[in-house]
Amino acid sequence: MGELTPEKNIGFKKWWVMLRPHTLSASFVPVALGTALVLPIRNPDLALFLAMMAASMLIQIATNLFNEYFDFKRGLDNAQSVGIGGSIVRDGFHPKTILRLALILCLVAMLIGVFICANSSWWIALAGSICILTGYLYSGGPLPIAYTPFGELVSGLFMGVFIIWISFFIQTGTLTVNCILISIPIGILVGGINMANNIRDLSGDKKKGRRTLPILLGRPRAIIVLAGLFTFSYIWVIGLMILSVESAWLIIVFASLPKAIQATKLFRKKTKAIQMMPAMKATAQMQTLFGILLSLGIVLDYFI
């Protein structure tokens, strides 16, 4: 177990950083996209949209906190940890405080879920419970998902694809082929954020006994795969337009292409974890821009 540093002055800024706000795009972008897809069918219910947004972001933050707590318990973080992990040992947060806060956020998300279920379908309770459990098992439990090669797949499915489906379902009571097909690139890019994080942490994770996908692939091949995920996402959108699944307005997603190129170049040029922080940031920004522009394209097609 990691050593607990002396208690420090924990201000709002440290709390904010510890919540990992830059990861929240992985939760609010799918909700926005899933709701935008509702427009051709009906006017979205604003209360359901806001409730889904809040619940999704709370689960994302709780997952971050579980990760913080269990990394500390396993002795994986130290005061020199690169990035935003290691807040307990570096900034003086008490581990039990982190765990309790994560559980409270899960409880609040469940209460919001009751409202969502009451106004849509009680099947959402099962889906939401699975998402919360997955958030816990990502870094907790006897075999954390984060320590395996399946982290990218799980995060892409549960924080990308499934969130889009749930956001659409609570508004319409059904799923459509369009919703399913358009969720694919977002799920891939959410998984890409996870892969970017694992590429940055490859050396440290390997020493700690983790078996993440970048460790199995090796750094050069992992960067190629990440670039491949970016490329596939754009090609998929082109396919949706060619096959008339969605309109030509989706072409605006290519405004996010410079960020994808920037992230790939930065990963190829840098080898040290601290040097790859800008590449990670560019990856998260690319996913955010891609998702927002995809949602905007759908909205423009509806109103214009």
- In angstroms, the CA 243 to CA 251 distance is 14
At residue 149, the 3 state secondary structure works out as coil
pLDDT score at 3 = 45
| pLDDT tens, N- to C-terminus, the chain (304 residues) | 444 444 454 567 777 777 777 677 778 899 999 999 999 999 999 999 999 999 999 999 999 899 888 888 877 665 555 545 566 776 677 888 889 999 999 999 999 999 999 999 999 999 999 999 999 999 998 889 999 999 999 999 998 999 999 999 999 999 999 999 999 999 999 999 999 989 988 888 888 888 999 999 999 999 999 999 999 999 999 999 999 999 999 999 999 999 999 999 999 987 787 788 889 889 999 999 999 999 999 999 999 8
Residue 78, pLDDT score: 56
Structure tokens, 96: 């039990």
pLDDT for the residue numbered 73? 82
Domain boundaries, the chain: 12-303
Strands of the chain (E only): list them: none
How remote is the C-alpha of 269 from its chain's centroid? 25
- Alpha carbons within 13 A on the beta-carbon side of 115: 14
3-state secondary structure of 141: coil
Task: Give pLDDT, residue 80.
Answer: 54
Confidence (pLDDT) at 10: 56
* Tally of residues, the chain: 304
Count of beta carbons in the 10 Å neighbourhood of residue 152 = 25
Question: Distance between terminal CA atoms of the chain?
Answer: 58
Entry pTM:
0.90
Q: In the CATH scheme, what is the code of domain 12-303?
A: 1.10.600
